[in-house]
Amino acid sequence: MGANDTSTASFYADSDPEDREICLDARSEIPDRHPDMEPKAPSRTRAPRRIASLAKLVLCGAVLAGAATMLEPSSADAAVVEKIAAVIGDDSILLSELRTRAAPLIRVLASKAPAGPQRTAAESQVYKDVLSRMVEETLEAQAAERMKVTVSPEEIDRALENVAGQQKLTVDELLLAAEQRSGLSEVEYRAEIRRQVLEGKLLSQRVRGRIRITEEDLKNAYTRAVREERERREYRPEIILLKILPGSSPAAIATREQEAQNIYNQLKAGASFEDMAKQYSDEPKTKDKGGDMGIHAPIKTQAAQMGKRPALAEEVEARLMPLEPGEITAPFRLGDAILIMGVKSRQPSRFTTYEAAKEEMVQRLQNEILARENESWLADL
């Protein structure tokens, strides 16, 4: 590292900050589905445990052995009328049904990943996840039959209108978006919505009268939602960096620390961050820009992980996350430098006030409770 680059690498995460484009995950949360109403495969973390807990479930080894062998039957399979992927009580899931259900996800995967071992492994995981979801749905259907719970076409229509309204789309636009995003036709999407409505009705019967949500619960949920959203929002950091020369004596270091404190005091008194950075900062890339570091993405976002936006080191980012635009950190030491940083601007939040978000927080907490109940209920079936 040359003399002019002192400490720059230390406050960046391990990524190249040059020539990056915006790439935000714009999917909004949909409160009527836990965690949302968009059709998708189940969580990978819970699928293996769920399958293992079903004493009557028999899995066909060929189904889970690998996606490559599942996509096209071999000539040896020509005489086989049908293969069974799983047996749940008196019901079974056919291999053809599994392939049909997984086909949209496989098509999306094929469009995003080149052929090779990684895609084959990903396809295999898709089949495992979809099979686990189909097992859950079969258990739910069996329970619904026993409890005489049904879903009418009108209920499906209302659910579609609800989801579309929450995303500020028409139903036709929602169906088109589902096809583009997940490869689901209208019939497939409506079938998925029906399954989700049925699951919700079963859970509602199970927990009816037992959901209790306090005002404190809602406020905690709002605080958590705001924090989680902030960790996804892009922002524009600014920096004043004072170098500490190698071999500096304790007295020299103390002098630099006092200089940093004096700068901080002037900033708190109303001095312009831009002017102070141009006058005092030793960071060559941002000095002439008044400390402006450009648009950054939080380190855990897709934009940062894919290298489409620069991200600061986690320890530095942690100091900036709580700040509102215009606020600054106190001077802090990082390697061979003393830093004062601020947030010049931040992507706007969709949350305005607690009261405005209160209804959404009620729905969010209900969904979390229902999700836990669903986990427990399916494990007991």
Tens digit of each residue's pLDDT (9 = 90 or more) over 2-26: 444 444 446 777 544 333 322 222 2
> What is the pLDDT at residue 333?
96
Residue 189 pLDDT greater than 80, yes or no = yes
| Mean pLDDT, residues 374-380 | 65
**Sorting pLDDT into bands at 50, 70 and 90, what band is 374?**
low
DSSP-derived 3-state class of residue 165: helix
241 and 137 in a common domain: no
Q: Are 270 and 378 in contact (CB under 8 A)?
A: no
35 belongs to a structural domain: no
Q: Are 312 and 191 in contact (CB under 8 A)?
A: no
Most confident of 47-51, 173-177, 292-296, 350-354: 292-296
Q: Which residue has the higher pLDDT, 126 or 199?
A: 126
Q: Which domain holds residue 103?
A: 54-146
100 and 8 in a common domain: no
> What is the pLDDT at residue 328?
98
> What is the pLDDT at residue 90?
84
- Can you tell me the distance from the alpha carbon of 158 to that of 240, in angstroms, rounded to the nearest whole number? 55
Q: Tens of pLDDT along 310-343?
A: 999 999 999 999 999 999 999 999 999 999 999 9
Residue 58 gets the label, from left (phi > 0), alpha (psi -120 to 50) or beta, of beta
Residue 13 structure tokens: 């995460």
**Sorting pLDDT into bands at 50, 70 and 90, what band is 131?**
very high
- Can you tell me the distance from the alpha carbon of 309 to that of 293, in angstroms, rounded to the nearest whole number? 12
122 belongs to a structural domain: yes
Pairing state between β 58-59 and 84-88: antiparallel
> What is the pLDDT at residue 335?
93
**Sorting pLDDT into bands at 50, 70 and 90, what band is 260?**
very high
List the one residue out of 76, 124, 77, 134 whose CA is nearest residue 101.
134
Last residue of a domain, one of 146, 167, 187: 146
176 belongs to a structural domain: no
41 belongs to a structural domain: no
**Sorting pLDDT into bands at 50, 70 and 90, what band is 354?**
very high
21 belongs to a structural domain: no
354 belongs to a structural domain: no
CATH of the domain at 330: 3.10.50.40
DSSP-derived 3-state class of residue 355: helix
pTM value is 0.52
325 belongs to a structural domain: yes
| Mean pLDDT, residues 252-278 | 97
Residue 197 pLDDT greater than 90, yes or no = no
Q: Which residue has the higher pLDDT, 88 or 183?
A: 88
Please report where in the chains the tokens 């980012």 appear, as a residue.
317
Percentage of residues of the chain with pLDDT beyond 70: 76
Computed over every residue of the chain, the mean pLDDT equals: 79
Q: Which residue has the higher pLDDT, 37 or 218?
A: 218
74 and 8 in a common domain: no
Percentage of residues of the chain with pLDDT beyond 90: 40
| Mean pLDDT, residues 193-203 | 83
> What is the pLDDT at residue 141?
83
96 and 9 in a common domain: no
Residue 362 pLDDT greater than 50, yes or no = yes
242 and 305 in a common domain: yes
Domain total in the chain = 2
> What is the pLDDT at residue 367?
79
30 belongs to a structural domain: no
Alpha helices in 13-94 (DSSP H): 47-52, 61-65, 68-71
Residue 33 pLDDT greater than 50, yes or no = no
**Sorting pLDDT into bands at 50, 70 and 90, what band is 80?**
low
62 and 7 in a common domain: no
Residue 222 structure tokens: 């709002």
List the one residue out of 345, 344, 339 whose CA is nearest residue 240.
339
Last residue of a domain, one of 107, 124, 146: 146
252 and 324 in a common domain: yes
Residue 315 structure tokens: 């320890």
> What is the pLDDT at residue 251?
96
Residue 166 structure tokens: 């929450």
DSSP-derived 3-state class of residue 108: helix
Last residue of a domain, one of 146, 170, 205: 146
